[in-house]
């Protein structure tokens, strides 16, 4: 009797790229949910815009490269890039900001280098960096969080939509009335003006650890990251290395000069620390390969994040830290090849 043949192994785990990406999206749900609670529905509109742009850009790029649309279009990687970038943008950012950022990320940072699995840089962070450098003012116009002690201007859903699509605030407001800096941004400005940490911290937007609202979002992201760790979608090396490095740098500097430098818990719960540790730095394509390499990579991101936040030109350093460490990945990989069984070194 004849039979069809196939090469070994004859059983493989029912895993797929789409499944991995889907788990990452599920893990982002707490972050997105809390973000909407504190900053309004703007994020959801940004996400929708971003995802549509991402899929359109991906389809166009695949066509141009002569690749088949399924399975690549729905593998989820473009959607994740869009969601991560949307999370980094101000909720009321004009529509063209997220569209141009996502288009740049997908077309230039991903497909120009060879598509899925071939990008040396994290596409979402490339998009963010381009937007930050090109439109610095727009990128720093955040909202005050919806917490007691602060009075954010009440914007309805329709107001949010019109602001995003027209690029202008609703008629009865000015930009200054509805926007506010992030805690990291405010801290930078205040310290530069000569205030001490204690004085800067007295601002109503700060709570015990970090900024009000932001600390909860970071905790939600931590929970999502823990979910990914439990499912073994990501491994512990990069998040632990990054957060430890950030913690250590902040501890040393704030112990030396408590008035001039923010403490470690503030840094861990501010800005994109948790998002960066569990969702951005762990992007497998652009990260280091071996376990030891991942530790070095994560630690480098942590240190650079602290350096840029404290002495650099931007309030949050995660994006540039990730991009700089992406540059060093080939070097790290070269020197951290694990010892093969039976070899001396």
Partner 1 sequence: MAKPGVRGGLRLDAHKERSTAQALRAASSVETLVLPLDQHAGAPAVPLVKPGERVLRGQPIAEPGGAISAWLHSPASGTVAAIEPRPAPHRLGAPTLSIVVANDGRDERYAQPAPAPFDQLSPEQLREIIGRGGIVGLGGAVFPTAAKLSSAVRGQELRLLLNGAECEPYISCDDMLMRERARDVVFGARVLLHALTAQTCVIAIEDDTPQAAAALEAAIAEAHDQRIQLRQVGSDYPAGGERQLITAVFDVEVPAGGLPADVNTVCLNVGTAAAVAYWIRDAQPLTNRIVTVTGDGVLEQRNLDVRLGTPLAALIYDCGGYTSRMSRLIMGGSMMGQSLPHDGMPVIKATNCIIAASALDLQPRAAEMPCIRCGNCAEVCPATLLPQQLHWYAMGRDLDALEAYGLMDCIECGCCDYVCPSQIPLAERFRDMKPALTERLAARGSAAAARTRFDARTARLEHIESERLAALAKKRQELAKKSS
Report the interface residues with partner 1, using CB under 8 A: 1-17, 19-20, 71-72, 75, 77, 115-118, 235, 284-285, 287, 289-290, 337-345
In angstroms, what is the minimal distance from the CB of 85 to partner 1?
Answer: 19
Dihedral Cα 251, 253, 257, 263, nearest 10 deg = -40
Query: CB-wise, 11 or 230, nearer to partner 1?
Result: 11
Residue among 210, 184, 197 nearest 312 (CA): 184
In angstroms, what is the minimal distance from the CB of 64 to partner 1?
Answer: 17
In angstroms, what is the minimal distance from the CB of 170 to partner 1?
Answer: 43
Cβ–Cβ < 8 Å for 235, 278: no
127 alpha-carbon distance from chain centroid: 11
In angstroms, what is the minimal distance from the CB of 75 to partner 1?
Answer: 7
In angstroms, what is the minimal distance from the CB of 59 to partner 1?
Answer: 17
User: CA-based angle 228:232:237, to the nearest 5?
Assistant: 85
Query: CB-wise, 197 or 280, nearer to partner 1?
Result: 280
- Reported as type and span, the H/E element at residue 272 is none
Distance CA 170, CA 6 (A): 64
Query: CB-wise, 12 or 171, nearer to partner 1?
Result: 12
Q: What are phi and psi of 10, to 5 degrees?
A: -95, -5
Question: Helix 95-104 and helix 77-88: axis angle, to 10°?
Answer: 140
Query: CB-wise, 17 or 37, nearer to partner 1?
Result: 17
In angstroms, what is the minimal distance from the CB of 4 to partner 1?
Answer: 7
Query: CB-wise, 66 or 194, nearer to partner 1?
Result: 66
Distance CA 162, CA 105 (A): 25
User: CA-based angle 317:234:15, to the nearest 5?
Assistant: 140
In angstroms, what is the minimal distance from the CB of 326 to partner 1?
Answer: 12
Query: CB-wise, 178 or 228, nearer to partner 1?
Result: 228
Cβ–Cβ < 8 Å for 252, 259: no
Query: CB-wise, 119 or 310, nearer to partner 1?
Result: 119
């Amino acid at each position: 009797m004849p039979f069809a043949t196939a090469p070994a192994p004859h059983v493989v785990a029912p895993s797929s790229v789409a499944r991995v990406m889907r788990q990452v999206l599920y893990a982002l749900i707490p972050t997105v949910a809390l973000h909407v609670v504190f900053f309004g529905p703007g994020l959801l509109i940004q996400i929708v815009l971003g995802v549509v742009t991402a899929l359109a850009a991906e389809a166009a790029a695949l066509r141009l490269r002569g690749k088949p649309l399924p399975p690549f279009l729905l593998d989820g990687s473009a959607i994740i890039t869009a969601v991560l970038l949307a999370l980094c943008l101000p909720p009321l950012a004009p529509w063209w900001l997220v569209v141009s950022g996502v288009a740049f990320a997908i077309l230039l940072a991903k497909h120009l280098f060879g598509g899925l699995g071939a990008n040396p840089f994290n596409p979402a962070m490339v998009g963010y960096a381009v937007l930050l450098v090109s439109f610095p003012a727009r990128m720093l116009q955040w909202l005050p969080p919806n917490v007691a002690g602060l009075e954010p201007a009440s914007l309805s859903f329709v107001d949010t939509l019109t602001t995003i699509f027209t690029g202008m605030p609703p008629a009865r407001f000015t930009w200054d009335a509805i926007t506010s800096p992030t805690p990291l941004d405010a801290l930078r400005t205040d310290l530069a003006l000569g205030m001490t940490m204690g004085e800067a911290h007295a601002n109503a937007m700060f709570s015990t650890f970090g900024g009000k609202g932001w600390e909860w979002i970071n905790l939600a992201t931590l929970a999502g990251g823990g979910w990914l760790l439990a499912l073994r979608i990501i491994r512990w090396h990069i998040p632990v290395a990054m957060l430890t490095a950030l913690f250590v740098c902040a501890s040393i500097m704030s112990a030396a000069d408590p008035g001039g430098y923010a403490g470690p818990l503030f840094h861990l719960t501010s800005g994109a620390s948790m998002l960066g540790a569990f969702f951005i730095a762990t992007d497998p394509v652009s990260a280091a390969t071996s376990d030891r390499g991942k530790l070095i990579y994560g630690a480098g991101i942590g240190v650079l994040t602290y350096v840029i936040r404290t002495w650099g030109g931007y309030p949050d350093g995660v994006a540039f830290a990730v991009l700089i460490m992406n540059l060093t990945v080939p070097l790290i990989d070269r020197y951290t090849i694990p010892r093969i069984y039976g070899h001396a070194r």
